[in-house]
Amino acid sequence: MSERVVPPAARQRRRPTKQGVVLSAELIVDTALRLIEEHGADALSVRRLGRALGADPSSLYRYFRHTDDLMLAIADELIGRTLRVWRPTGDWRADLRELGLRMHAGALAHPRAAMLSAHRVTGRAHEIQAVEGIIGVLRRAGFPDPEAVRIYHAFVDQALAFGALDSAGTALPRAAREAEAEVWRDTYAHLPADTHPHIAATARHLVASMRSSSYPAALDLLLTAAQTRLDHLRAGTDG
Amino acid sequence: MSERVVPPAARQRRRPTKQGVVLSAELIVDTALRLIEEHGADALSVRRLGRALGADPSSLYRYFRHTDDLMLAIADELIGRTLRVWRPTGDWRADLRELGLRMHAGALAHPRAAMLSAHRVTGRAHEIQAVEGIIGVLRRAGFPDPEAVRIYHAFVDQALAFGALDSAGTALPRAAREAEAEVWRDTYAHLPADTHPHIAATARHLVASMRSSSYPAALDLLLTAAQTRLDHLRAGTDG
DNA sequence: CTTCACAGGTCAACGGTGTTGTCGTAAGGT
DNA sequence: ACCTTACGACAACACCGTTGACCTGTGAAG
């Protein structure tokens, strides 16, 4: 074996595969993302990716040490894409809401990658840029430093956590996802009022609510609480 | 094949395996949890579980239709364990805070299981009991039904999502976890103020905050927002 | 232009996975 | 003591990630 993976800079001998494709780390990442998007999260396997590229599966190991390595590269690409289109306007609440929803949407677009990368701190350029931007928004809004950090931390983790949670939902095989919807419709909607009064009373709302992600609601709750805190601080300072 | 899985009530012929173990859904779930705890999440496979039980892997299909089915049973068992020690006092905010922290702690106690099951709706006994309990607390507190469901949904998902997120963190190999802490200490704590003013200004707080979970803070923010909403509703009704 | 080292694509194999069809046997009801 | 049948065992299938050995065309050096 010795060293299988060669750093991208040193690559030069661009030999095409048997089927005429010239491989590159970029092409592999892009193809992987396309595969995930088109055929669901479980469509991503080294062998399938190889087939989609028109190359032997083992060729990929010349570019990535193992599948995890590939996943991180994919995640990195995703962070970049999300951040690239965020333009803070100066309204802290609207800006954070926008960014939160974008992060969540980005995760849902690539469930498998989101699940694997949510809990990792990369310390890379894109991530640092995001941290600086969010804390900046909060400080400019008037939050004192410890408060800004607390809210930053909760905000980011919430976006990542819900992104991963909801991604896991969409990554399920179609049959399992339908089974879940059925559980709410069939089991919860028909519990008798004498044994389960609260579920019976709210069944209609439950079935409707469970159909969609609770992230927007949770995000708004977080922002509302932050707003309340800010109002409180202002009142304390002004009066 | 016909029907392979027999409902637990109908079981009677308790034939021991070749190695003398008498199987049961309970025993299988318990063994699976033990396996996950001791050897990590990837230690859970039908074949390994069979080996750990002293039974042929295919025997498990007499108790669970497929692996997913087994995962749901594991998840429900965890919910049950958490719920078993929760005693609502009547103070809705304190009760939900208590339950949220318990769920989070329960997830951290079984990181791998939490990660695998956080996103599943089981529709099983313990879960139903939890739903009834939480919505009951909210309705008794005075939230109208749609509001109660919205908050219930956000509350539960947030507890599960953070549970899974933080579990993923603790499930990392020790080396990787230390590397992450280092990133905060070394990279973020030393960014120059002229390029990253906001990070530089709050670095001290950042390093401290990132060491621990943001779930308690996020939970308090959610409860604060709910309280605000409740006050608002009361003011509207009373005045 | 020719030569030739070796990057990088390919092949075959290993040990793992979930899942299913078939079969034998011992447990329980009669 | 017999019969039925639940249920555990076995073998097979198609897939997975990963590796070591092999072979060939590329691109630079002479």
Q: CB distance A118–B168 less than 8 Å?
A: yes
What does the pLDDT read at residue A164? 86
Cβ–Cβ < 8 Å for B209, B145: no
Say whether pLDDT at B79 is over 90. Answer: no
Q: CB distance A158–B154 less than 8 Å?
A: no
A9-18, A69-78, A95-104, B94-103: which has the minimum mean pLDDT? A9-18
Q: Is A171 exposed, middle or buried (0-12, 13-18, 19+ CB in 10 A)?
A: buried
Which CATH number is associated with domain A8-65? 1.10.10.60
- What count of Cα atoms within 13 Å lies in the side-chain half-sphere of residue A43? 15
Q: CB distance B214–A157 less than 8 Å?
A: yes
Say whether pLDDT at B3 is over 80. Answer: no
pLDDT single digits (tens) A148-206: 999 999 999 999 899 988 887 776 666 777 777 888 888 889 999 999 999 999 999 99
Residue B2's pLDDT band (cuts 50, 70, 90): very low
What does the pLDDT read at residue A239? 45
What does the pLDDT read at residue B28? 95
Averaged pLDDT of chain A: 87
What does the pLDDT read at residue B27? 94
Q: Indicate which of A67, A185, A190, A205 best probes the interface with B, i.e. most B CBs within 10 Å of its own CB.
A: A205
Cβ–Cβ < 8 Å for A158, A112: no
Q: Quick one: closest CA in A to B170, which residue?
A: A119
Q: CB distance A165–B169 less than 8 Å?
A: no
Cα distance from N-terminal residue to C-terminal residue, chain B: 67
What does the pLDDT read at residue B38? 86
| DSSP three-state, residue B29 | helix
Cβ–Cβ < 8 Å for A220, A155: no
In window 19-38 of A, residues with CB < 7 A from nucleic chain D are none
**Mean pLDDT for the stretch of residues B64-91:** 89
What does the pLDDT read at residue A173? 65
| DSSP three-state, residue A17 | coil
What does the pLDDT read at residue A149? 96
Percentage of chain B exceeding pLDDT 90: 53
Contacts 24+ apart (CB under 8 A), A108-112: A108/A163, A108/A166, A108/A167, A108/A170, A109/A37, A110/A33, A110/A36, A110/A37, A110/A74, A110/A78, A110/A167, A111/A36, A111/A41, A111/A167, A111/A168, A111/A170, A111/A171, A112/A36, A112/A41, A112/A42, A112/A44, A112/A71, A112/A167, A112/A171
CA R_g for chain B: 23
CA of A175 to C1' of D28 (A): 56
CA R_g for chain A: 23
Out of B148, B164, B198, closest to residue A165 by CB: B164
A29-33, A225-229, B56-60, B72-76: which has the minimum mean pLDDT? B72-76
Residues in chain A with CB shorter than 8 Å from the CB of B222 are 218, 221-222, 225
Query: What is the nearest nucleotide to A3, using C1' and CA?
Result: C7
CA of B233 to C1' of C16 (A): 58
In this predicted model, which residue has the larger pLDDT, A68 or B28? B28
The amino acid sitting at B43 is A
Topology annotation, domain A89-238: Tetracycline Repressor; domain 2 (1.10.357)
- What are the structure tokens assigned to B128, written together? 């139903």
Residues in chain A with CB shorter than 8 Å from the CB of B183 are 121-123
Say whether pLDDT at B238 is over 70. Answer: no
pLDDT single digits (tens) B181-230: 887 888 889 999 999 999 999 999 999 998 899 999 999 999 999 999 99
In this predicted model, which residue has the larger pLDDT, B118 or B93? B93
**Mean pLDDT for the stretch of residues B32-41:** 86
Query: What is the nearest nucleotide to B69, using C1' and CA?
Result: C18
**Mean pLDDT for the stretch of residues A55-83:** 87
Q: Any idea where the domains of chain B sit in the sequence?
A: 8-65, 84-238
- Is strand C less than 7 A from the beta carbon of A20? no
Count of pairs with CB atoms under 8 A, one residue in A, one in B: 181
Residues in chain B with CB shorter than 8 Å from the CB of A213 are 157
What does the pLDDT read at residue B173? 64
Say whether pLDDT at A2 is over 50. Answer: no
Domain B84-238 in CATH 1.10.357.10? The answer is yes
Residue B110's pLDDT band (cuts 50, 70, 90): confident
Residues in chain B with CB shorter than 8 Å from the CB of A221 are 151, 154, 221-222, 225-226
Q: Within 10 Å of residue A236's Cβ, how many Cβ atoms?
A: 8
Q: CB distance B164–A161 less than 8 Å?
A: yes
Averaged pLDDT of chain B: 87
- Is strand C less than 7 A from the beta carbon of B187? no
What does the pLDDT read at residue A200? 96
Q: CB distance A201–B145 less than 8 Å?
A: yes
Q: CB distance A191–B128 less than 8 Å?
A: yes
- Is strand C less than 7 A from the beta carbon of B161? no
What does the pLDDT read at residue B218? 97
Residues in chain A with CB shorter than 8 Å from the CB of B146 are 205
Q: CB distance A123–B188 less than 8 Å?
A: yes
In window 163-182 of B, residues with CB < 7 A from nucleic chain C are none
